[in-house]
């Protein structure tokens, strides 16, 4: 935790390094003990270095996973552990933590930087999801933090012309890399432009360098634009459709609020919100650092929190990039209380941070125990844990079970076998488990990124392995049985943590595919 205000200034580097190291070690531990989530399984299943972008997101996450898997293959073979694949994301989150500290230090002082760093380190979302998982949020927040830092120096430190040119180029590069990570980057770009244009900082737009930065960002993000142009803008249409809907969804709105509180821990969310109001009131201006940070934050927080009220989708992690930019103001509020000799707020913040760290430690221990001693099938059945376990655990043992039946052998021409799921979420688990041993396809109206890995029409005349959990499998088999000359059902395979038989997987062999489905996306027809 941050030292007392009376601590000598030379303790600052050690304190910062201590917090950064503690965060790094915690993330490494979590990366080692937590099973890959469904989104991570999807990233593992569809990642490759050949695509310019993906149906769901820009390419950065998938490129990182594919590159790390390629580097790890000589050591681990086709099944690189999730811990190894997560290493770039863990290291990126450590750089993010430093960038937040340095940004906060520059706009609010060293003490504020320490408190912001502590808040980031003990917030569940930034520690776990954005800190270790194979999802776009980690790379996005990294590059947005670096972009905000560069822009803050330009706006509030008046660097010399040579350094300013370098910072504009860095801003363009980081903004482009954020655009390669997640579409949220567009909100940052718009907010930054509006803030600069609507305040006295607009004079900086008279220089060519901001516009050179815009061109650089556009060049970096070009792979996303090229891929979408080649695929009838399918990714943009998919994401835009998630924000439109019909009736007001009060349940979804409540879920958004509750989810954000859980992701940030209540003290971080409430404190950051109150700190933002306090900073704007204290500064009595909107063109200062507080106004800058609030401008970057308000868009994603308001847009994604309120989306369910307009009939759109909403997931609690969508507003998180906005909350990230309010952490410096939370740090500022606590630091100002320390300097003013008001110990109540810093003491409360320490207690909440300690409580958050303790709860996270307990949760990590519980996860580790489940991995070391998986629940028995009787326990799974008694407490109806099969569904949450299927969503939260890898399908360990699937490859061995299929191989034992000879279902993973290449065909007569040397092509790898084709394994078909009837839901993209189950295909994600299958792809994670099988790796390069098989081609994974989805026979469903919503195949997501699997539609761009292989065209089912190329499977004409082949025998396909059909896999799924019982409910989805029965529905999918009924809808697709007529596509094959005949269906040969197999005994189920049980998969789960450490190979423990926790989840039942139905298996069948579809002989002689005669009527392959047509992919639903425009250019795939």
- pLDDT cut 90: percent of the chain above it: 74
Q: Residues 321-339: what's their mean pLDDT?
A: 96
Do 489 and 409 belong to one domain? yes
| Residue 368, domain member (yes or no) | no
| Residue 304, domain member (yes or no) | yes
| Residue 372, domain member (yes or no) | no
Instruction: For 196-350, list the strands marked E by DSSP.
Output: none
Weakest mean pLDDT among 9-18, 109-118, 435-444: 9-18
Q: Are strands 503-513 and 464-468 parallel, antiparallel or unpaired?
A: antiparallel
Q: Residues 346-371: what's their mean pLDDT?
A: 87
Residue identified by tokens 């790094």 is 24
Query: In whole angstroms, what is the distance from residue 450 CA to residue 463 CA?
Result: 19
- Residue 350: how many CA atoms within 13 Å on its side-chain side? 11
What is the Cα gyration radius of the chain? 25
State both tokens at 18. 């201590």
Query: In whole angstroms, what is the distance from residue 32 CA to residue 127 CA?
Result: 14
Asked if residue 43 has pLDDT above 60, the reply is yes
Please tell me the predicted confidence (pLDDT) of residue 511. Answer: 95
Do 147 and 97 belong to one domain? yes
Asked if residue 182 has pLDDT above 90, the reply is yes
> Over 74-136, what HEC string results?
HHHCCCCCHHHHHHHHHHHHHHHHHHHHHHHHHHHCHHHHHHHHHHHHHCHHHHHHHHHCCCC
Do 407 and 441 belong to one domain? yes
Do 175 and 225 belong to one domain? yes
Do 342 and 419 belong to one domain? no
Angle between helices 289-306 and 327-339 (to 10 degrees): 130
Q: Are strands 503-513 and 484-495 parallel, antiparallel or unpaired?
A: antiparallel
Instruction: Annotate 322-372 with DSSP letters as a single string.
Output: HHHTTHHHHHHHHHHHHHTT--HHHHHHHHHHHHHHHHHHHHHHHHHHHHH
Residue identified by tokens 């306090």 is 278
List, for residues 283-296, the tens digit of each pLDDT value.
999 999 999 999 99
What are 489's strand-pairing partners?
508
Weakest mean pLDDT among 27-31, 269-273, 345-349, 438-442: 345-349
Please tell me the predicted confidence (pLDDT) of residue 8. Answer: 43
State both tokens at 335. 């630091």
| Residue 306, domain member (yes or no) | yes
| Residue 403, domain member (yes or no) | yes
Q: Residues 452-456: what's their mean pLDDT?
A: 91
pLDDT category of residue 260 using cuts at 50, 70 and 90: very high
Query: In whole angstroms, what is the distance from residue 434 CA to residue 34 CA?
Result: 20
Nearby residues of 258 by Cβ (< 8 Å), 6 or more positions away? 316
Do 356 and 471 belong to one domain? no
- Other residues' Cβ atoms within 10 Å of the Cβ of residue 280: 17
State both tokens at 114. 């320490």
Residues in the chain: 525
Please tell me the predicted confidence (pLDDT) of residue 485. Answer: 96
Do 107 and 181 belong to one domain? yes
Q: What is the mean pLDDT of the chain?
A: 91
State both tokens at 22. 């503690």
Asked if residue 75 has pLDDT above 70, the reply is yes
Residue identified by tokens 């009837």 is 422
State both tokens at 219. 């060049």
H-run or E-run covering 465: strand 464-468
Do 348 and 447 belong to one domain? no
Domains: count for the chain: 2
Q: Indicate if the alpha-carbon torsion angle 260, 263, 266, 271 is positive or negative.
A: negative
Do 163 and 38 belong to one domain? yes
Asked if residue 1 has pLDDT above 60, the reply is no
Please tell me the predicted confidence (pLDDT) of residue 252. Answer: 87
Asked if residue 206 has pLDDT above 70, the reply is yes
| Residue 381, domain member (yes or no) | no
Do 32 and 92 belong to one domain? yes
Query: In whole angstroms, what is the distance from residue 496 CA to residue 371 CA?
Result: 10
| Residue 236, domain member (yes or no) | yes
Do 127 and 54 belong to one domain? yes
* Range among 157-171, 237-251, 354-368, 380-394 rated most confident: 157-171
> Over 191-203, what HEC string results?
HHHHHHHCCHHHH
List, for residues 121-149, the tens digit of each pLDDT value.
999 999 999 999 999 999 999 999 999 99
Q: Are strands 418-421 and 439-442 parallel, antiparallel or unpaired?
A: parallel
Do 330 and 401 belong to one domain? no
Query: In whole angstroms, what is the distance from residue 332 CA to residue 113 CA?
Result: 8
Residue 204 · residue 210 · CB < 8 Å? yes
Please tell me the predicted confidence (pLDDT) of residue 312. Answer: 76
> What domain range is 413 assigned to?
388-524
Weakest mean pLDDT among 59-68, 176-185, 361-370: 361-370
What are 510's strand-pairing partners?
464, 487
Query: In whole angstroms, what is the distance from residue 308 CA to residue 288 CA?
Result: 32
Of the three residues 344, 362, 380, the one that is the final residue of a domain is: 362
| Residue 135, domain member (yes or no) | yes
């Amino acid at each position: 935790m941050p030292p007392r205000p009376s601590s000598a200034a030379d303790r600052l580097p050690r304190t910062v390094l201590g917090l950064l190291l503690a965060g790094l070690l915690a993330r490494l531990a979590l990366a080692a003990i937590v099973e890959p989530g469904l989104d991570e399984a999807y990233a593992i299943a569809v990642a490759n270095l050949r695509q310019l972008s993906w149906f769901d997101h820009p390419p950065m996450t998938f490129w990182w996973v594919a590159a790390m898997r390629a580097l790890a293959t000589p050591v681990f073979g086709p099944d690189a552990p999730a811990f190894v694949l997560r290493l770039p994301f863990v290291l990126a989150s450590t750089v993010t933590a430093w960038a937040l500290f340095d940004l906060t230090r520059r706009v609010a002082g060293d003490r504020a930087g320490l408190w912001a760093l502590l808040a980031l380190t003990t917030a569940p979302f930034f520690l776990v999801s954005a800190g270790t998982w194979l999802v776009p949020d980690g790379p996005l927040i990294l590059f947005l933090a670096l972009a905000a830092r560069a822009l803050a120096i330009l706006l509030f430190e008046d660097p010399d012309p040579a350094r300013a040119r370098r910072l504009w180029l860095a801003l363009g590069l980081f903004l482009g890399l954020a655009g390669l990570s997640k579409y949220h980057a567009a909100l940052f770009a718009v907010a930054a432009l509006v803030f600069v244009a609507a305040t006295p900082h607009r004079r900086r737009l008279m220089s060519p360098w901001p516009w050179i930065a815009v061109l650089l960002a556009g060049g970096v993000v070009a792979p996303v634009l090229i891929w979408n142009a080649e695929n009838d803008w399918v990714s943009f249409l998919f994401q835009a459709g998630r924000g439109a809907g019909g009736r007001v969804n009060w349940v979804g709105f409540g879920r958004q609020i509750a989810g954000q509180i859980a992701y940030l821990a209540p003290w971080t969310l409430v404190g950051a919100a109150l700190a933002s109001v306090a900073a704007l009131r204290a500064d009595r201006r909107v063109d200062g650092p507080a106004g800058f940070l609030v401008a970057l934050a308000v868009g994603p927080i308001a847009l994604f929190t309120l989306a369910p009220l307009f009939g759109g989708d909403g997931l609690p992690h969508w507003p998180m990039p906005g909350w990230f930019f309010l952490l410096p103001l939370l740090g500022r509020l606590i630091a100002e209380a320390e300097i003013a000799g008001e110990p109540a707020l810093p003491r409360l913040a320490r207690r909440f941070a300690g409580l958050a760290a303790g709860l996270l430690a307990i949760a990590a221990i519980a996860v580790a125990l489940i991995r070391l001693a998986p629940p028995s099938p009787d326990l799974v059945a008694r407490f109806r844990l099969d569904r949450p376990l299927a969503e939260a655990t890898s399908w360990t043992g699937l490859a061995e079970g299929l191989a034992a039946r000879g279902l993973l052998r290449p065909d007569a021409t040397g092509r790898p076998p084709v394994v078909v799921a009837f839901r993209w979420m189950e295909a994600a688990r299958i792809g994670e488990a099988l790796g390069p041993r098989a081609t994974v396809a989805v026979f469903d109206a919503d195949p997501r990124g699997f539609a761009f890995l292989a065209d089912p029409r190329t499977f004409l005349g082949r025998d396909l392995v059909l896999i799924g959990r019982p409910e989805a499998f029965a529905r999918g088999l009924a809808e697709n049985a007529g596509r094959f000359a005949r269906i040969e059902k197999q005994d189920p395979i049980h998969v789960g943590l450490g190979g423990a038989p926790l989840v039942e997987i139905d298996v069948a062999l579809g002989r002689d595919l005669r009527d392959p489905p047509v992919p639903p996306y425009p250019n795939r027809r």
